[in-house]
Amino acid sequence: MSEKDRKLVEAITPRDEDFAQWYTDIVKKADLIDYSSVRGCMIIRPYGYAIWELIQKHLDKRFKETGHENVYMPLFIPESLLQKEKDHVEGFAPEVAWVTHGGDEELTERLCVRPTSETLFCEHYANIIHSYRDLPKLYNQWCSVVRWEKTTRPFLRTLEFLWQEGHTAHATEEESMDETIKMLNVYAEFCENILAIPVVKGRKTDKEKFAGAKATFTIESLMHDGKALQTGTSHNFGDGFARAFNIRYTDKNNELKYVHQTSWGMTTRLIGALIMVHGDDDGLVLPPEVAPVQVMVIPVQQHKEGVLEKAREVKSRIEKLARVGLDDSDKMPGWKFSEYEMKGVPLRLEIGPKDIQNNQCVIVRRDTREKIFVSLDNLEDSIQKILKAMQRDLLANATLERDRKTYTAYSMDEFAEICAKTPGFIKAMWCGERSCEDAIKEKTGATARCIPFEQDRVSDSCVCCGKPAEHLVIWGKAY
């Protein structure tokens, strides 16, 4: 093995020793990204982008099944347009990147590089919505946005990132709320059934809600290190943006009404979540639904007669039902095993002279390392069953891990101790006062992740002030 090959299969930093370095090692060594010459920006390499394409495919299918259409809005937003909704512009002002020159000429009006596209959609909706017959408008956009973050980490927080942003307009408040919750449920189902990541659904506090929104709803996930990750959000704008942008329609009684709007989004942050929920000390562990290669065929002793031919035959059979690769390079089998473990390929299929003689192959699951001897007569059926079992088991194990790291605090002392010693989700009651929410963050570093839909009244008193409690809140330190 060459020195270059040896370096490629070196052990990564153990995740329980240095979680941040473990994460960085994986995104680099699994060929997901490379660093750009621009601080805080990343080059998404083919393998990383293939994961994003599969995420797009699954989400886009769900959006279209619920009646949404894809559109594309401009990259630039005039400053005067961004200023139309006061709360919105104030919320994004610290993160906005501005274009001040075109060539050598100074622009008469600064252009914002979109941090989000609410204002652009509002301007467009004001132009095209006139009657109740024009509603609802159910649009989605796949694009990149720019937010000038001070601290960055690949996939989790970058200056530019890829995402989808849904923007819809409705005749009534009830319709916009139905849409907001419906899309949150789409996100939750996608995370659990496709990414194998369990989520908690709930409403954000007023402090944590989206700038300009009437209400923000979220799905929250827990990473291996006990930190929370906001995995997707859905916002109900009410008619606030419509009033700012004068988006009105004539109803069936010929009366002018303001529309009610929503927006909702998911980003390439999901790839970071996949790493931190399922990965281990040997690299990625990808759920089969979003693995660019679901089965990697590796011929053993491929120099021997008939081995390569049989490996190619097996690949041909599998590719009718799964995304399959064949590594017939001259690298040693052990090197290949380590490489595809690092990349998180769900199943490794080994086949050599003895296997051919016994009319079998060996399938190794990436998550459990279990070796399964499979008859070639039942190959297709066995592959499908093992892939389904792995997808199901990853969700079950992640759910157990999340539940194991979910705690209940009845006092601030308990709360602070959990944050310091055993980070995770913390269930605790809250009086609803902003002052208590601020005090909890100041004392412990934890924020209100959400007011979960499923309320479990663990006590009658606010964990911070002791006054009568209004809500159970899920708290945690977050990315």
DSSP string, 311-367: HHHHHHHHTTTS-EEE--SSS-HHHHHHHHHHTT-SEEEEE-HHHHHTTEEEEEETT
Whether 332 maps to a domain, the answer reads: yes
- Identify the weakest region by mean pLDDT among 10-19, 234-243, 295-304, 339-348: 10-19
For residue 17, pLDDT beyond 70: yes
Question: What CATH number has the domain bearing residue 231?
Answer: 3.30.930.10
In this prediction the pTM is 0.95
Question: What CATH number has the domain bearing residue 354?
Answer: 3.40.50.800
pLDDT of residue 440: 97
Last residue of a domain, one of 278, 306, 326: 278
Domain count of the fold of the chain: 3
Task: Tell me the C-alpha distance between 109 and 111, whole Å.
Answer: 6
Are 389 and 412 part of one and the same domain?
Answer: no
What would the pLDDT profile of 270-326 be if each residue is shown by its tens digit? 999 999 999 999 999 999 999 999 999 999 998 899 999 999 999 999 999 999 999
Whether 209 maps to a domain, the answer reads: yes
For residue 365, pLDDT beyond 70: yes
Task: Tell me the C-alpha distance between 327 and 109, whole Å.
Answer: 55
Are 212 and 160 part of one and the same domain?
Answer: yes
Are 410 and 379 part of one and the same domain?
Answer: no
Last residue of a domain, one of 278, 307, 333: 278
- Expressed as residue numbers, the domain containing 436 is 406-476
Task: Cite the DSSP H helix spans in 345-426.
Answer: 353-357, 379-404, 412-421
pLDDT of residue 351: 97
For strands 256-258 and 260-267, give the pairing: unpaired
pLDDT band at 369 (very low <50, low <70, confident <90, very high): very high
Are 190 and 169 part of one and the same domain?
Answer: yes
Are 327 and 253 part of one and the same domain?
Answer: no
- Identify the weakest region by mean pLDDT among 25-29, 209-213, 297-301, 466-470: 209-213
Which residue type, as a one-letter code, is found at position 450?
C
Question: What CATH number has the domain bearing residue 471?
Answer: 3.30.110.30
Are 31 and 143 part of one and the same domain?
Answer: yes
Whether 63 maps to a domain, the answer reads: yes
What would the pLDDT profile of 215-230 be if each residue is shown by its tens digit? 999 999 999 999 999 9
Are 59 and 186 part of one and the same domain?
Answer: yes
Are 228 and 129 part of one and the same domain?
Answer: yes
Are 269 and 318 part of one and the same domain?
Answer: no
Whether 96 maps to a domain, the answer reads: no
